[in-house]
Amino acid sequence: MTRWRPHAHIRVVAIGLHWRDGRLLAAEVRDDAGRIKGVRPLGGEIEFGESWRAALVREFNEELGIDIVLKGEALMLENIFVHEGATGHEVMFISEVGFPDAAFRDQDRIDFSEDNGAHIVARWFDLADLDVEGGPSLFPTGLKNLLLGAGKGGPA
Protein backbone atom coordinates (compact mmCIF):
# COMPACT_ATOMS: atom_id res chain seq x y z
CA MET A 1 0.00 0.00 0.00
CA THR A 2 1.28 3.47 -0.89
CA ARG A 3 1.46 5.75 2.14
CA TRP A 4 0.47 9.21 1.03
CA ARG A 5 1.54 12.38 2.84
CA PRO A 6 0.62 15.99 2.07
CA HIS A 7 3.16 18.07 0.19
CA ALA A 8 5.28 20.48 2.26
CA HIS A 9 4.18 23.48 0.20
CA ILE A 10 0.93 25.18 -0.81
CA ARG A 11 -0.64 23.34 -3.74
CA VAL A 12 -3.19 24.82 -6.12
CA VAL A 13 -5.64 22.13 -7.21
CA ALA A 14 -8.82 21.72 -9.23
CA ILE A 15 -11.49 19.18 -8.33
CA GLY A 16 -14.60 18.21 -10.25
CA LEU A 17 -18.06 17.55 -8.91
CA HIS A 18 -19.83 14.89 -10.92
CA TRP A 19 -23.35 13.91 -9.89
CA ARG A 20 -25.36 10.81 -10.75
CA ASP A 21 -28.89 10.44 -9.40
CA GLY A 22 -28.12 13.11 -6.79
CA ARG A 23 -24.97 11.34 -5.62
CA LEU A 24 -21.44 12.79 -5.77
CA LEU A 25 -18.53 10.90 -7.33
CA ALA A 26 -15.64 10.80 -4.85
CA ALA A 27 -12.50 8.75 -4.29
CA GLU A 28 -11.86 6.87 -1.08
CA VAL A 29 -9.22 8.39 1.23
CA ARG A 30 -7.56 5.80 3.44
CA ASP A 31 -5.37 6.00 6.50
CA ASP A 32 -2.09 4.07 6.83
CA ALA A 33 -3.96 1.00 8.13
CA GLY A 34 -6.11 0.94 4.98
CA ARG A 35 -9.32 2.12 6.67
CA ILE A 36 -11.54 4.57 4.79
CA LYS A 37 -11.42 7.87 6.66
CA GLY A 38 -13.24 9.91 4.04
CA VAL A 39 -13.85 10.63 0.39
CA ARG A 40 -12.79 13.42 -1.97
CA PRO A 41 -13.98 14.48 -5.44
CA LEU A 42 -11.58 13.70 -8.28
CA GLY A 43 -9.04 16.15 -9.66
CA GLY A 44 -5.50 17.18 -8.97
CA GLU A 45 -2.73 19.73 -8.98
CA ILE A 46 -2.65 22.59 -11.46
CA GLU A 47 0.65 22.68 -13.32
CA PHE A 48 2.65 25.89 -13.78
CA GLY A 49 1.18 27.91 -16.66
CA GLU A 50 -2.01 25.82 -16.77
CA SER A 51 -5.49 27.20 -16.06
CA TRP A 52 -7.70 25.46 -13.50
CA ARG A 53 -10.06 24.55 -16.36
CA ALA A 54 -7.33 22.89 -18.41
CA ALA A 55 -6.01 21.10 -15.31
CA LEU A 56 -9.41 19.66 -14.48
CA VAL A 57 -9.95 18.40 -18.03
CA ARG A 58 -6.43 16.91 -18.04
CA GLU A 59 -6.83 15.22 -14.65
CA PHE A 60 -10.08 13.46 -15.61
CA ASN A 61 -8.55 12.39 -18.90
CA GLU A 62 -5.45 11.00 -17.17
CA GLU A 63 -7.34 9.30 -14.36
CA LEU A 64 -10.50 8.05 -16.08
CA GLY A 65 -9.69 8.32 -19.78
CA ILE A 66 -12.68 10.58 -20.51
CA ASP A 67 -13.23 14.10 -21.76
CA ILE A 68 -15.37 16.09 -19.33
CA VAL A 69 -17.42 19.24 -19.85
CA LEU A 70 -17.06 22.02 -17.27
CA LYS A 71 -20.34 23.43 -15.95
CA GLY A 72 -20.19 27.00 -14.70
CA GLU A 73 -17.66 28.91 -12.68
CA ALA A 74 -15.54 27.49 -9.90
CA LEU A 75 -16.12 27.77 -6.20
CA MET A 76 -12.95 28.54 -4.23
CA LEU A 77 -11.84 26.98 -0.98
CA GLU A 78 -8.67 27.09 1.11
CA ASN A 79 -7.94 23.66 2.58
CA ILE A 80 -5.54 23.34 5.52
CA PHE A 81 -5.61 19.80 6.86
CA VAL A 82 -3.70 17.11 8.74
CA HIS A 83 -3.27 13.57 7.38
CA GLU A 84 -1.37 10.99 9.45
CA GLY A 85 0.32 13.78 11.43
CA ALA A 86 1.47 15.80 8.39
CA THR A 87 -0.05 19.18 7.54
CA GLY A 88 -1.22 19.97 4.03
CA HIS A 89 -2.29 23.28 2.49
CA GLU A 90 -4.25 23.68 -0.74
CA VAL A 91 -6.05 26.42 -2.62
CA MET A 92 -8.87 24.73 -4.51
CA PHE A 93 -10.92 25.49 -7.61
CA ILE A 94 -14.08 23.37 -7.42
CA SER A 95 -16.34 23.01 -10.45
CA GLU A 96 -19.22 20.84 -11.54
CA VAL A 97 -18.35 18.58 -14.46
CA GLY A 98 -20.33 16.53 -16.94
CA PHE A 99 -19.33 13.12 -18.28
CA PRO A 100 -19.95 11.73 -21.75
CA ASP A 101 -23.42 10.13 -21.81
CA ALA A 102 -22.37 6.48 -21.58
CA ALA A 103 -19.34 6.93 -19.30
CA PHE A 104 -19.50 4.60 -16.28
CA ARG A 105 -23.31 4.45 -16.54
CA ASP A 106 -23.52 0.81 -15.41
CA GLN A 107 -20.72 0.95 -12.83
CA ASP A 108 -21.15 1.49 -9.09
CA ARG A 109 -17.44 2.10 -8.67
CA ILE A 110 -14.48 3.22 -10.76
CA ASP A 111 -10.99 1.81 -10.17
CA PHE A 112 -7.95 3.70 -11.45
CA SER A 113 -4.30 4.38 -10.60
CA GLU A 114 -2.54 7.62 -9.75
CA ASP A 115 0.78 8.60 -11.32
CA ASN A 116 2.58 7.23 -8.24
CA GLY A 117 0.96 3.81 -8.73
CA ALA A 118 -1.55 4.17 -5.90
CA HIS A 119 -4.77 2.24 -6.57
CA ILE A 120 -7.84 4.46 -6.17
CA VAL A 121 -11.51 3.50 -5.81
CA ALA A 122 -14.17 6.09 -6.58
CA ARG A 123 -17.89 5.69 -5.98
CA TRP A 124 -21.00 7.84 -5.90
CA PHE A 125 -22.04 9.05 -2.43
CA ASP A 126 -25.17 10.71 -1.09
CA LEU A 127 -24.22 13.98 0.65
CA ALA A 128 -26.57 13.03 3.50
CA ASP A 129 -24.30 10.05 4.31
CA LEU A 130 -21.11 12.15 4.51
CA ASP A 131 -19.83 14.14 7.50
CA VAL A 132 -22.24 12.33 9.83
CA GLU A 133 -21.62 10.05 12.81
CA GLY A 134 -20.51 6.64 11.55
CA GLY A 135 -20.08 7.80 7.97
CA PRO A 136 -17.01 8.90 6.03
CA SER A 137 -15.94 12.54 5.98
CA LEU A 138 -16.19 14.60 2.80
CA PHE A 139 -12.85 16.20 2.03
CA PRO A 140 -11.93 18.96 1.90
CA THR A 141 -13.50 19.82 5.24
CA GLY A 142 -16.25 22.37 4.69
CA LEU A 143 -17.07 21.23 1.14
CA LYS A 144 -20.44 19.78 2.15
CA ASN A 145 -21.53 23.08 3.74
CA LEU A 146 -20.18 25.01 0.77
CA LEU A 147 -22.19 22.84 -1.62
CA LEU A 148 -25.37 23.09 0.44
CA GLY A 149 -24.92 26.86 0.85
CA ALA A 150 -24.28 27.35 -2.86
CA GLY A 151 -27.54 25.61 -3.71
CA LYS A 152 -25.70 22.64 -5.15
CA GLY A 153 -25.81 19.16 -3.66
CA GLY A 154 -26.93 17.56 -6.88
CA PRO A 155 -27.68 18.36 -10.47
CA ALA A 156 -30.37 20.92 -11.19
Is residue 155's pLDDT more than 60? no
Q: State the Cα–Cα distance between residues 51 and 48, nearest whole angstrom.
A: 9
pLDDT in tens, 73-117: 999 999 888 877 788 899 999 999 999 988 998 999 999 988 777
Q: State the Cα–Cα distance between residues 22 and 156, nearest whole angstrom.
A: 9
pTM of the model: 0.87
Phi then psi for residue 102, to 5 deg, are: -90, -5
What average pLDDT is seen over the chain?
A: 89
